[in-house]
Amino acid sequence: MSSTSEKPHLTSSDLDMLQGVLDDAGYDAKILIDDERVFNVAAVLLIRLFQEGVTSPAMLSRALEYHFGKPKTPPKPLTPVCNRYAIQGLPRDERRVAG
């Protein structure tokens, strides 16, 4: 007696689309260990929804936002208030020798 699987097989293009949804939501493969569990849960959620028939990237993104909140934007890089040389001084070869 053979069993038939009702879940569709994921093709490489399906996986690429799901990875794109994760990337757009801010889930990166180079995440910290502390966030790895959340990343895995998000990936499992997307795969489950996809297998249930939700194939729209927009709908999958909304599902991620619903379950995990809005993606966090990376902090803006700090721009120093003072010039580098005001903090560190001039390089040795550019200093005037007072004599």
C-alpha distances in Å from residue 29, one per residue of 23, 71, 93: 8, 15, 44
Per-residue pLDDT of the chain (99 residues; tens, 9 = 90+): 445 556 668 899 999 999 899 888 877 655 554 555 666 788 889 999 999 999 999 999 999 889 878 766 655 666 656 666 666 666 766 666 554
pTM of the model: 0.58
Q: Report domain extents, the chain.
A: 12-72
